[in-house]
Amino acid sequence: MTKLERILLDDDRFFGVNERSHEQSRQQRIEFENNKAIIQVIDDAYALGIRAMMCTTHDRMGDICAHVKATPAKYRGFAFYPMMPQGHKYAASVAEVGILETIKRFSTGGVVSTLFRASIGAITQDIFDLMKLLVDAEMKRFDGIDTPVVFLQNVVTDLVLGMKMYDLFGEFHRYMYERYKAEAGFVTMNLPALVDALETVGVRNPVVCATINKTGFRMSGGLEAYERTLRDRKVRVIARGVLPSSDVTPEDGFGYVCGHKKIEGIVVNATSRADIAAVQALIQKLDGS
């Protein structure tokens, strides 16, 4: 069983993902328009002892991974927890050229290797084959990088959950282990329902990354259902979105998640050395370590 890192960086802020305001989002885009600024944050975090980062499969993450791969001694023990697929690039492509062309465009090695494996028509008859094709394409940029947990990102997880196509979860879980020796993780905004669904396809004690905060924001099913799941079910949770607004102080926000034993990892959105150090010190204090 994979041991999860207690504190994880997040790449949301590097790419301007910010639920609070458009202005903050724009500021972040300017701050991180250069990859050097992102690498600086990783270096600062590494120096403080942080050893993991949740990341999308954004094209720019490929460059960051290449840098980490080129200097392995500098990042010894540092792991990436990728979340896939990155929705924007597929959505933009499907809108422009349609779903079949998109599959061709993004499959590993482009059309040629796809044709070797099977015709597009045959592949689309089998959603499992299609999933594997896309997973392989997404994992390519993480070749030679430590990825102990690979997440299905929340739009896909929650879509599959709503469509009740639970067998896909099981297949993703199995494939990640068999092909990449990685543990499958699931990002969700619907933790209680997801844990139930995973159990039906035999995924026990799953790794789930969910928005968890004391206000109940983006915790579908409700705060009480989340607390019941965290208390009664076998699940290893990584909490994100711990500070949904400025109304919640860091002491209160991190205090809430540190009070739940099943929350093994916490995603922090801090991007400066001083902020990362402050959050780290706070979590260590709350953990009593």
Partner 1 sequence: MDSGTVPAPMVVRVGLIGAGKMGVAHFAIANSHPDVMFVAVCDTTGFVLSLLKKHAGVETYKDYREMMDFARLDAVIIATPTPTHFACVRYALDKNLHVFVERPLTLSPNESRALSEMAIQRKVVNQVGFSARFIGTFLEARRLVRAGAIGTVSQLRGTAFGHVVTREQGMTWRSKKAEGGGCLHDYGVQIIDLMNFVVGPPTKVTGAKLQSIFSKDVEDAVYAILHYPNGSTGVVETNWSDESMHETTTTLAVMGTKGKITVDRRELELHLNEGAAFEDYHAGWNVRGMTRLTKPVRYYLRGEEFSAQIDAFIDAIKSANTAHEPSFASAHETDHIVDLIIQSNQAKA
DSSP letter, residue 273: H
CB contact at 8 A, 57 and 138:
yes
CA dihedral in degrees (110, 111, 115, 117; nearest 10)? 20
Closer Cβ to partner 1, 180 or 216, answer by number: 216
The binder of partner 1 chosen from 1, 36, 73, 95 (CB under 8 A): 95
Binding residue count for partner 1, defined by CB under 8 A: 42
The binder of partner 1 chosen from 30, 47, 97, 281 (CB under 8 A): 97
Count Cβ neighbours within 10 Å for each residue of 14-34 and write b for 16 or more, e otherwise.
bbbebeeeeeebeebeebbee
Indicate whether 94 belongs to the interface with partner 1 (CB under 8 A).
Answer: yes
The binder of partner 1 chosen from 79, 201, 216, 252 (CB under 8 A): 216
Least distance between partner 1 and beta carbon 193 (Å): 7
Indicate whether 217 belongs to the interface with partner 1 (CB under 8 A).
Answer: yes
Alpha-helical regions (H) of the chain = 22-31, 35-47, 59-70, 87-97, 99-106, 110-117, 120-124, 127-139, 154-163, 167-180, 191-200, 223-232, 250-258, 273-287
Site string for partner 1, 74-93 (x = CB under 8 A): -----------------x--
Q: How many CB atoms lie under 10 A from the CB of residue 108?
A: 16
Of residues 38, 35, 109, 46, the one with CA closest to residue 78: 46
**Does residue 145 sit in helix, strand or coil?**
coil
Least distance between partner 1 and beta carbon 280 (Å): 24
Indicate whether 221 belongs to the interface with partner 1 (CB under 8 A).
Answer: yes
Residues 129-158 that bind partner 1 (CB under 8 A): 155, 158
CB contact at 8 A, 123 and 130:
yes
Indicate whether 49 belongs to the interface with partner 1 (CB under 8 A).
Answer: no
Closer Cβ to partner 1, 67 or 218, answer by number: 218
Q: Which residues bind partner 1 (CB under 8 A)?
A: 16, 19-22, 25, 29, 91, 94-97, 99, 121, 124-125, 127, 155, 158-159, 161-165, 167-168, 189-190, 193, 215-222, 244-247
